[in-house]
Every structure is written in C-alpha cells, then in structure tokens.
Structure 1
C-alpha cells in the first residue's frame, strides 16, 4: 500500500492524501519561486518534518523514562541556496521544561539529533538545533 497519493491542482499547487488516514495537505510554490505561498511549500514540509520527527522521537524516549513533555514546542526556519535551488540549512529551536536533569536533557537531545529524518537528509544540509530550557 502506498504512503500517499497526490495530484497537481494547477497554479503550482498540489494536493496530497495520506493513504492510511485520508488526511489531506496542500502545497504551494513559495512566493520567491513563482508561487502564491498560501500553503506549505514542499521544502517547508521537509523542515517541519525534521522538527516533528525530532519531537516524536524525544516523546518516545520521554515515555520510556516517565518524562512528561506535554507543551514542548519548536520553531523551524529553512535557508535556501540558489544554485542549484535546494535547502542549504534548517534551524530548529526547541523550548523544553527547565525541570529536566542534565542526564535527561542529554538523552532527549541525542534522541532528537538521531531521528530518522535527521539521519535521512543529505549531509550537505546543515542542521542547526538549539535546546532552550525553562518554563
């Protein structure tokens, strides 16, 4: 069974459907590349996938260690190169509880940096990951 199906809707917009759940997402070309920027661009999705994958793997590790990560958040930014047009760098900034011990922080940070998306991206894509702790 496929992971997703997609169709081109015209005007640089695509519609993708997650096969198992039926969830639909749309992508648009970004404004700086002839698009409307009214939805995630495909490269936005790659950036968001990196952050959410990191958070998911941290969540798995947290559950194993009886840690509550409810409310953990991140911001992600991507930086594009022009020749050829590609993602050059992705910055991910996490906000985590200040109550985590040094050992717990190291465990979670390692989990994030070794998530499947992080390990799957081309090594030429620089991944800058920051962890801030506090309430």
Structure 2
C-alpha cells in the first residue's frame, strides 16, 4: 500500500493524500516559477518537513527525559539557488525553545544533537546548507 497518493490538478497544482489518515495537502508553484504562490510549493514542504522533523525528534527526547518543550516555536527560511537548475541551497531554522525549567548545557546539547540527527536532516543532500539556531 502506498504511503501517499498524488494527482496533478492542472495549472501547476498538485494534491497529495496521506493514505492512512486521509489528510490532504495541495501545492502550487511559487510566483518566481510561473505559479500563483497561493499554497505551499513542493520545496516549501521540504523546508517545513525539515523543521517539523527536528521538532518531532526533540519531542521524542523530551518525553523520554520528562522535560516538556511544549510551546517551542521555529521560523524557517528556504533559500533557492539563483542559477539553474532550481534547487534548495540553504535551510535556516531559528528555534525559540520553551522548557518548563532552565536546562543545563548538557541537556541543551542533547536536544540540539537530537534535532540535527532527525531523518529529514540526514536525508537532505549534503550540498544543502543547514543553518540551525537554538534560542534557549
């Protein structure tokens, strides 16, 4: 059984359905690549997946060590190449970590290491610069 089923809708839009849950995502090409920019672009989803994956892995660690990070937020910037072929060249993520208590440097380091070893981060091409900042 597939994980995702996708369909081209026309006008540079696609639709993807997560088979198990039925959750739907639609994409649009960005304005700088002939689209309307009204929805996430496919490369936006990569950037979002990068951040979400890091947060998820930190959340797993948080549950294991009984330290809440609920309320942690992040801003993600996707930088595309100025030349052809179009590709992501840099992902910038700034985390604003929220914890229930002040963490030690060792605890902070464990969370940061966990984030950098998330499956999406490890799956990205090494030419994509990953610039991640943690604001504790």
Q: Distance in 2 between matches of 1:25 and 1:43?
A: 13
Residue number in structure 2 paired with 1:89:
90
Deviations 1:90-118 (A, max 9, x none): 00110013622211110000000010000
Question: 2: distance between equivalents of 1:130 and 1:118?
Answer: 14
Match of 2:45 in 1: 45
Cα displacement (A) at 1:84: 1.2
Q: Distance in 2 between matches of 1:63 and 1:102?
A: 18
**2:69 aligns to what SS in structure 1?**
coil
RMSD: 0.9
Structure number having the greater strand percentage: 1
Paired residue secondary structure (1:85) = coil
Range with bigger deviation, 99-108 or 26-35: 99-108
Unpaired runs of 5+ in structure 1?
Answer: none
Query: Moved runs in structure 1, 4+ residues, more than 6 A?
Result: none
SS in 1 for 2:87: strand
String of CA shifts for 1:58-81, please: whole Å, max 9, x gaps: 000111100101100111011001
- State the aligned residue count: 133
Q: Which residue of 2 is the match for residue 131 of structure 1?
A: 134
In the alignment, the residues of structure 2 paired with residue 83 and residue 34 of structure 1 have an alpha-carbon distance, to the nearest angstrom, of 15
Residues 27-68 of structure 1, C-alpha deviations (whole Å, 9 max, x = no match) = 000000000011100000000000000000000011110010
Tell me, yes or no, if structure 1 residue 113 matches structure 2 residue 128: no
